[in-house]
Structure 1
């Protein structure tokens, strides 16, 4: 399964590496939004779960992955700028669905608050805008490691916290990736953490209340950093929101083990393609709120 590769110009401001997994049997297209320090490679399992039921679009942020060589990295990207890039890609690929992972949820929800006309449903996974004590500790430690450009500490921090439930092979890949990022990527992550820790969360939460399309929030029961209980409180004011907690999974959901991948696939396709009877069976490994 090879994607169609393109580097797209976003209004002369950014050059974005994209990967389009086309399916001859799919009627709809979904665009996936990376988490912090992640690239298109992070969605390998998610693509397998969604294709060929949907056309799937992946992309790298201007500062990361295969977009990195095409941009000059002269300014930090705010969540508003990342949302602008996302909105342009939604239009280009005529995407009807959106799925974000982890801190990709900030750009995704910011984009959704502007009511993009093409998007009909969205999935926000492993994300909470509410900064609880474990997440605050992680962010503050991360900010210090990034400021010092201490690559070993950054890699170990991610694996010891958000990635604690990943299998050992994935932890090795994760460490290698995170500890070899460019200095401008560390600077971008430091900037992002500052935005999160000092931003007006209430203003952000109020903006998301304007979202009217169906939104599914998915979190892992073992994830103490984007805790399910926090997400339920945040999701409730969004009129058409649903919430699913996946048992026996942490922050990285479908990457952590085969059963996690299976139940993640069922949760996604039940929401996005509810008339596909193959995915309509219930599972004891999910709990639904709202």
Structure 2
């Protein structure tokens, strides 16, 4: 299912996925990918199908059921709605109204039905956010997953800006986080995990005036995609090759960040690429020392032979 596409109304991107774990995000958007254009019909997912869609690792059904339930409990916390311009008419609704988990069936399944007023989020879309489910689910950090979705909304422009307030709300950044926490725990994984997917990705902080020049926003730029570009996998080898190219030719990442990004793309233990790169550098250094020593020894030998002539 490497070519499974997620496609939905941009309104879904405006709702913060508060406290969702990466596993729960994978389950949620796997469901979204298969609910598109199904109207108000009940859609059945077998456990095996949903596990494959979401690249779910644990195999025990009890654990899987618990994770599905916790995902739905958090989905219930997502509030969609509308309000009139004068604010006198307001309505709110959840996305799914039916969510039945049956682990007793010979082929265990989950039945899901969308709420009628939420149908427009996944059906007859006039504008949309679109991306490959496999690219989304392979990201490890919840911050990288969320920013991936947000940037894909601007895929053909190659530019997105978020005020600090919107950035913190949409990514569900803890209020206790200081600038150093955001740099290390939020921006770092975003840069390392999204650089392989967004060619030429740059992240810039916008500073305000006044004491301390506080950060007031974040801008993201990358090479825009063509409107007719598809999200289909080109095959594991070609996909990985493109990701590594994007890492190596990104001038924003430090050497250490590039090494970590390569580890993540290749599925290696963090530090593997750095260890290999440092070993190569050490070998080159040792060879240089040996070559220099050999050169000096030959020079001394020639000098001695010259004196004896």
Task: Compute the TM-score of the two structures, normalised by the length of structure 1.
Answer: 0.30
Bigger CA radius of gyration: 2
Task: Compute the TM-score of the two structures, normalised by the length of structure 2.
Answer: 0.28
